[in-house]
Structure 1
Amino acid sequence: MTRPARIAYLTGEYPAVSHTFILREVLALRAQGLDVLTCSVRRTGPEHHRGADEKRAAQTTFYVLQAAKRPATLLAALGWALGRPGALGRMIRLALATRPAGIKATIWQLFYLIEAMVLAHHLTRQGVTGLHNHFAMASSSVAMLASELSGIPYSFSLHGPADFWDTGRWRLGEKIARARFVACISHFCRSQAMLFSDPAHWSKLHIVHCGVDPDRYRPDPGHRPGREVLFIGRLAAAKGVPVLLEAFARAHAAFPDARLTLIGDGPARGDLQARATRLGLGDAVRFTGYLGQAEVAGHLAKTDLFALPSFAEGVPVVLMEAMASGVPVLTTRITGIPELVQDGVSGRLVAPGDVDGFAAALTDLLADPAATRMMGQAGQDKVRAEFDVTREAVRLAALFAA
């Protein structure tokens, strides 16, 4: 009997509530018969482990920094690396060649070297045949160096927009050149990868969407249409939540029964709560903090409109979750979002940062329940056809096998 391929997945933090799509992808790949070993540079806190899948992932994941802090583990990895002088020399030269300018950046590169050595030793002992990383920043640097030392080929998923903010620092072109393949989450993402890489490597760039399990998200048949608005995401600058609060204040003036729920947490939470108070929204706005996947699905089943006023995104999985739930979405016309949301068909798209436009669209949607129901159905059809995690896992498994 043929043993399934053993693929290691590496991320900076795992499992994380803001990256549940990675956990879903791992589970979907395992369902396809792949043996997936999860690794993470850092361990996440208990606030990220709200569901059974997250708790199990936290217990079975190999944490690189935690392992590197154990003297016996670090010395074993060093001894193993010294026994491969050619590969060790190539890894050190690669680390020096790809380090960003400056003393501080060089010190960080030395940390990546140590992390890569510990990871490579672990992967070799585990019989791993391929290493895959999500995002193109620090953990991808560790993956590239670990691949050079171990000889295990690596690949990565490219998301954006942060992946494209400092491509020189993170040596995106070099990482693409050395990767077996790059899974780009959208055509926009692939075009940016083409911009920063040699045309000789463009054939490595494949579209593999992040996906959702459509059967997990269903409208609540007992929900009566109303004016419940929902936001889910990290409460940080990139999400543009002040735009949503300003727009909702105007819509609330027209529809006093409208309610806004914000699920998530982050550094801006205190400021956003104070802003909601200054806008006089009172009990009309509720902040819940982080919730588990099942709790999120429950909120989506009972809302009337999903709003995401982001300034920077890839293709937000939370939009897919809302659309899979039959909920119309109001979001911004940026990066890969128009590949998911068709304006006027499955939701509304407005310019980022446009409070007037966002408020007008929000008010229009709250005023026309019949139109929003049609948009919700169109969105549900779109996600089932193009963003099903099982279908995307089949594509990814084929790339691992190629």
Structure 2
Amino acid sequence: MKIAYFINQYPKVSHSFIRREILALERQGVEVTRVALRGWADQLVDPDDLEERNKTQYLLRGGLAALLPVTLRQFLSRPGAFLRAVGMALRLSRMSDRAAPYHLVYLAEACELVRLCQVHQVTHLHVHFGTNPTEVALLARMIGGPAFSFTVHGPDEFDRPLGLHLREKMEAAAHVVAISSYGRSQLYRWVGHGHWPKVQVVHCGLEAAYFDTPAEPVPAAPRLVCVGRLCEQKGQLLLLDAVRQLRDRGEDLHLVLAGDGEMRDELEQFISRHGLQSQVSITGWISSERVKQELQAARVMVLPSFAEGLPVVIMEAMALGRPVLTTSIAGIPELVRHGTDGWLVPAGDVGALVDMLSRALATDAATLQEMGTAARARVRERHLIDTEAAKLRHIFSSSP
């Protein structure tokens, strides 16, 4: 089976789950062509990402001018289909946050995508995220490209389903993948029930190597870690307020914010303004190996997100035998069981977050170890990448 994976930006620090999925499919005999719009010049720290970049073909590497010849050839070879695709691109520009010319550029990208699929004899195209790459795949299908499917992660797609034209994309797709039952339910809201059978749940997964060695003992130090992009939706500012309140109550703790992002300056200002330099440190972007080390060095992984799909870092922490303290939103409660392998709090409730952080810090090492063991078994049962990749392989093989 020859398929292509199409992503807006690849490889990317926060897209290690896509790399795992591709490699698992290849282990099962699927030939995967990697295609992305951009990502050829990004700064990368992970050796696996560097290797993936060498395998990836980029539609925009030659600039927009390089797309003109292939677009003209596509028009001349199938003018009727091309003009229908122009009409669809203009239709999809309505209510979009991008003007019509951007959507015509997507059509030019679709022409190059069709060419690459033909060169590599691709029989099915799979896209991650229901944003502009899925529109490119839809337009590619209209002008002669292969059948396509796409994985919806959320929350971005659920925040603006009309502007992203989720309904049109789901209707045109052969299959739609949700990463949780919650995600599937949100997709059901935006397409007729006749299309519901094409929406299937396939979890993001972890390699078996995560479970090959025993979990490290829970450290004695009151150290917490929050892993993720520093941005509004991850809730780090609320977490810093909770740390401030715990410090003012005399509780001993240290929080590591592992990641970087657009809110770093604001977070650093909060730390400085409230004198939290002894309680909080920020690492910046780190490799996947360093993320693993930070998780192992912490008693608990904290993620107080306001909006999510189902964060892979929660799976990684649980696989390493660490309980997680996170919010009861989206697909998270499908994995994390409150009081068994972690704790769940209402999103945006700083008081509840303070109380639960205090409870987690006061929990003895033996109990944390038991919770970590339960977490490890839970994530292995539900999120082993080879199991999830087999589901995808079946989906791809059943495409028309």
TM-score of the superposition, structure 1-length normalised? 0.94
Match of 1:145 in 2: 139
| Alignment partner of 2:175 out of 178, 181, 196 | 181
Does 2:279 correspond to 1:284? yes
Residues 331, 349 of structure 1: 8 Å contact kept: yes
Match of 1:380 in 2: 376
Provide, for residues 347-396 of structure 1, a one-character-per-residue CA deviation record: whole Å limited to 9, x for no partner: 11111111110010001011012332222111111100001111100100
Match of 2:124 in 1: 130
SS, match of residue 157 in structure 1: strand
TM-score of the superposition, structure 2-length normalised? 0.94
Matched residue count: 396
Segments of structure 1 that go 5 or more residues without pairing to the other structure are none
Cα shift at 1:287: 0.7
Cα shift at 1:257: 4.1
Match of 2:270 in 1: 275
RMSD (CA atoms)? 1.9
Q: Cα distance 1:307–1:103, how it changes in 2: closer, same or farther (>3 A)?
A: closer
**Distance in 1 separating the partners of 2:275 and 2:317:** 28
When structure 1 is superposed on structure 2, of 252-261 and 265-274 the one drifting more is: 252-261
Match of 1:11 in 2: 7
**Distance in 2 separating the partners of 1:400 and 1:354:** 42
In the alignment, residue 106 of structure 1 is paired with which amino acid? A
Residues 12, 138 of structure 1: 8 Å contact kept: yes
Residues 249, 281 of structure 1: 8 Å contact kept: yes
| Alignment partner of 1:158 out of 152, 170, 193 | 152
Segments of structure 2 that go 5 or more residues without pairing to the other structure are none
Residues 301, 325 of structure 1: 8 Å contact kept: yes
| Alignment partner of 1:83 out of 77, 86, 99 | 77
Match of 2:304 in 1: 309
**Distance in 2 separating the partners of 1:31 and 1:227:** 41
In the alignment, residue 185 of structure 2 is paired with which amino acid? S
**Residue pairs, 1:21-40, within 5 angstroms:** 21-40=17-36
**Residue pairs, 1:226-245, within 5 angstroms:** 226-245=221-240
Q: Cα distance 1:219–1:281, how it changes in 2: closer, same or farther (>3 A)?
A: farther
**Distance in 1 separating the partners of 2:392 and 2:245:** 44
Residues 306, 322 of structure 1: 8 Å contact kept: yes
**Residue pairs, 1:1-400, within 5 angstroms:** 5-43=1-39, 45-47=41-43, 49-69=44-64, 71=66, 74-101=68-95, 105-216=99-210, 221=216, 224-253=219-248, 257-369=252-364, 370-400=366-396
**Distance in 2 separating the partners of 1:390 and 1:46:** 29
Cα shift at 1:44: 5.3
Residues 96, 164 of structure 2: 8 Å contact kept: no
Provide, for residues 220-247 of structure 1, a one-character-per-residue CA deviation record: whole Å limited to 9, x for no partner: 6466332110011000111110111111
Provide, for residues 305-363 of structure 1, a one-character-per-residue CA deviation record: whole Å limited to 9, x for no partner: 10001001000001000011110100011111100111111111111111110010001
Identity over aligned pairs, percent = 37
SS, match of residue 143 in structure 1: helix
Residues 131, 154 of structure 1: 8 Å contact kept: yes
